[in-house]
């Protein structure tokens, strides 16, 4: 079995990051429960500091660094939320941060990274360009790479959201989380099955960026030929580390179409009065739109973030 972080590492991550994050609430909606025939528990990471769950992993990784290593700073590449989380956590520790951001990233996410004090370095929207720009920073400064998902410290930090959800909701049958690079879903699966082995874990993924779905079907790591989904936070691909964990621990991956992402955003906004980003809506769609049979089950849903660029929907006059 792929290892990943242990439940002890996840518990240590909870202690380490507690002063720096919110213990986010779990919401329910009577009308959504009636319409699905299930009991749905929404873990509101859209209300987290920096607007997403990413602060958990970034804080755990950065505050795990020895002082002499941390002093040289940290670098990452990110389409937005992880970059903002790294920038915030680095500021909390008082160290420099550099974030490589693709040119097509949402403007609201780029602005957040800069507002938290990191130096933003733009690159072309390819993985190769991201990695090359990050390497240049490392060679020039000695900074430590804080990878968005291919790191057990990151996975352990992300797992703390599921640990809180399971404690607060209690007695869950199923947990749904979005999947991109796989850090959140891997951590969710490890936490859920370590705390309550009976819990099933299912990942939800945009059909336009379905490498996890294809990888679990083929048994080997697949790559995306395109990743033009509206869920811009879910355009990354699995690593060998996260794929190994998902293959052993995740029951299935469900693909969500673009119109279903928008419909789930609408439902969550109308019924829960929450603003969520498309990446979070991918997980909600798994339960709300009949993609899974959730009738008579207690279902936890990780709403991964709320960094929505509202100017796309409400342009300035």
pLDDT of residue 152: 98
Are residues 302 and 202 part of one domain?
yes
Query: What pLDDT shows up at residue 125?
Result: 82
pLDDT at position 228, please?
A: 86
Dist CA 246 CA 220 (whole Å): 12
In a structure prediction context, what are the per-residue pLDDT tens digits for the chain, which is 317 residues long?
568 999 999 999 999 999 999 999 999 999 999 999 999 999 999 999 999 999 999 999 999 999 999 999 999 998 789 999 999 999 999 999 999 998 887 777 788 899 999 999 999 988 789 899 999 999 999 999 999 999 999 999 999 999 999 999 989 999 999 999 999 999 999 999 999 999 999 999 999 999 999 999 999 999 887 778 999 889 889 999 999 999 999 999 999 999 999 999 999 999 999 999 999 999 999 999 999 999 999 999 999 999 887 777 667 66
Where does the chain show beta strands of DSSP type E? 26-27, 39-44, 74-77, 97-102, 119-123, 144-145, 174-178, 200-206, 252-256, 298-303
- What pLDDT is recorded for position 309? 77
If asked whether residues 157 and 238 sit together in one domain, one would say yes
Give the Cβ contact number of residue 144 at 10 Å.
18
Question: Do 130 and 168 belong to one domain?
Answer: no
Q: Which residue(s) pair with 176 in the sheet?
A: 202, 301
Residues 136 and 219 in one domain: no
Q: Measured between alpha carbons, how far is residue 9 from residues 14, 98, 144, 152, 191 in Å?
A: 9, 27, 21, 9, 10
User: Which residue's structure tokens are 């580390």?
Assistant: 241
**What is the residue range of 135's domain?**
55-145
Is 31 in the same domain as 105? Answer: no
**pLDDT number for residue 316:** 67
Residue where a domain terminates, one of 91, 110, 145: 145
Provide the pLDDT for residue 313: 66
Q: Is 35 a catalytic residue?
A: no
Closest-CA residue to 100 (of 115, 85, 74, 122): 122
Rounded to whole angstroms, how far apart are CA atoms 317 and 304? Answer: 31
Cβ count within 10 A of residue 228: 12
User: What is the number of structural domains in the chain?
Assistant: 2
CA 152, CA 252: separation in Å to the nearest integer?
Answer: 22
Domain boundary among 129, 145, 161: 145
> Do you know the residue count of the chain?
317
> CA-based Rg of the chain, rounded to a whole angstrom?
18
In a domain, 317, yes or no: no
**What is the structure's pLDDT at 5?**
97
Question: 127 and 37: one domain?
Answer: no
Among 145, 177, 205, give the residue marking a domain's end: 145
| Residue tagged active-site, from 79, 180, 279, 304 | 79
Q: Do 131 and 104 meet the contact criterion of CB atoms below 8 Å apart? A: no
Say which of 54, 78, 239, 304 is annotated catalytic: 54
Residue 2: inside a domain: no
The reply to whether 220 belongs to the active site is no
Contact 231, 206 (CB under 8 A): yes
Question: Is residue 285 domain-shared with residue 138, that is, in the same domain?
Answer: no
> Tens digit of pLDDT for each residue in 64-96?
999 999 999 999 998 789 999 999 999 999 999
């Amino acid at each position: 079995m792929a290892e990943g972080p242990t439940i002890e590492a996840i518990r240590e991550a909870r202690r380490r990051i507690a002063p720096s994050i919110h213990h986010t609430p779990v919401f329910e909606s009577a009308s959504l429960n009636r319409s699905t025939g299930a009991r749905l528990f929404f873990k509101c990471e859209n209300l987290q500091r920096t607007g997403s769950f990413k602060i958990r992993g970034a804080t755990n990784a950065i505050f795990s660094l020895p002082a002499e290593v941390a002093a040289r700073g940290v670098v990452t590449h990110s389409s937005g939320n992880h970059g903002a989380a790294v920038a915030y956590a680095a500021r909390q520790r008082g160290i420099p941060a550099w974030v490589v951001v693709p040119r097509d990233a949402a403007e609201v996410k780029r602005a957040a990274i800069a507002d938290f004090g990191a130096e933003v370095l733009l690159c072309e929207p390819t993985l190769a360009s991201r990695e090359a720009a990050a390497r240049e920073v490392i060679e020039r400064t000695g900074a430590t790479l804080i990878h968005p998902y291919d790191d057990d410290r990151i996975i352990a930090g992300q797992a703390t959201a599921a640990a809180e959800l399971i404690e607060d909701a209690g007695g869950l049958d199923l947990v749904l989380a979005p999947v991109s690079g796989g850090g959140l879903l891997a951590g969710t699966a490890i936490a859920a099955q370590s705390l309550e082995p009976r819990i099933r874990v299912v990942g939800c993924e945009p059909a336009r960026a379905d490498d996890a779905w294809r990888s679990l079907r083929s048994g080997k790591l697949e790559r995306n030929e395109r990743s033009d989904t509206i869920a811009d936070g879910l355009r990354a691909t699995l690593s060998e580390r996260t794929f190994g964990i998902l293959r052993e621990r995740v029951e299935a991956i469900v693909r969500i179409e673009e119109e279903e992402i928008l419909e789930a955003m609408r439902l969550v906004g109308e019924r829960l009065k929450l603003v969520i980003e498309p990446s979070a809506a991918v997980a909600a769609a798994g339960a709300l739109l009949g993609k899974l049979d959730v009738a008579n089950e207690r279902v936890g849903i990780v709403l991964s973030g709320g960094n929505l660029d509202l100017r796309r929907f409400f342009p300035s006059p």
